[in-house]
Amino acid sequence: QAIEPMYEQARQAAGRAYAPYSQFPVGAALKLKDGTMLQGCNVENASFGLCNCAERTVIFSAIAQGKLACDFDSLLIYMPGDSLYSPCGACRQVIVEFFAADALIYATCDTEQMKVWRVDALLPGVFKLP
C-alpha cells in the first residue's frame, strides 16, 4: 500500500521532535484503517530515563484522542540521515499491545531504503498476561 503519505507525515513530525540531548529527531505516523493518520515525535528530558520515543508518543496520543486499537493499521517511523533504525524494546512492547500481529511497521530515512516488520516479528516471546 502507498506509504508515501505516512512518510510525509512522519517527516513533518520529526521536525517537531524535542531532542536537545541526543540531537536525534524521530517522527512517527500511525495510520488507521480508514486512512486517517496521526503524528508523533520523540520528546526527551533532562532526566534521561523519561525520554519518550516517537512511536510511543503517537500510540499514546491516538488512544488519548479516542482512537481504537482495533482501528490501528500500520506505523511508520522516520529518522533523518541515511541509516535505518528500528524501534526500541519499550516501543516494541507497546506496539504489540495495540497492533494486530500481521500489522506492518516501517522504518524510513532520507534514502530510498526501508525496513518492514510484521508486528509479531518484532518481539519474540513477548510478555502478555494470560
Q: Which residues are catalytic?
A: 55
Half-sphere exposure of 108 (CA within 13 A, CB side): 22
In whole angstroms, how close is the CB of 34 to ligand THU at the nearest point? 25
Give the number of residues written for the chain.
Answer: 130
Q: How do strand 114-118 and strand 104-108 relate by DSSP bridges? A: antiparallel
Only segment of 1-9, 20-28, 95-103, 120-128 that touches ligand THU (CB under 6 A): 20-28
Residue number with CB closer to ligand THU (5 or 80): 80
C-alpha dihedral over 68, 63, 69, 118, to 10 degrees? 150
Is residue 123 near ligand THU by the rule CB under 6 A? no
Cell 523519561, located at residue: 50
Contact set with ligand THU (CB under 6 A): 19, 22, 24, 26, 42, 44, 51, 53-55, 77, 85, 87-88, 91
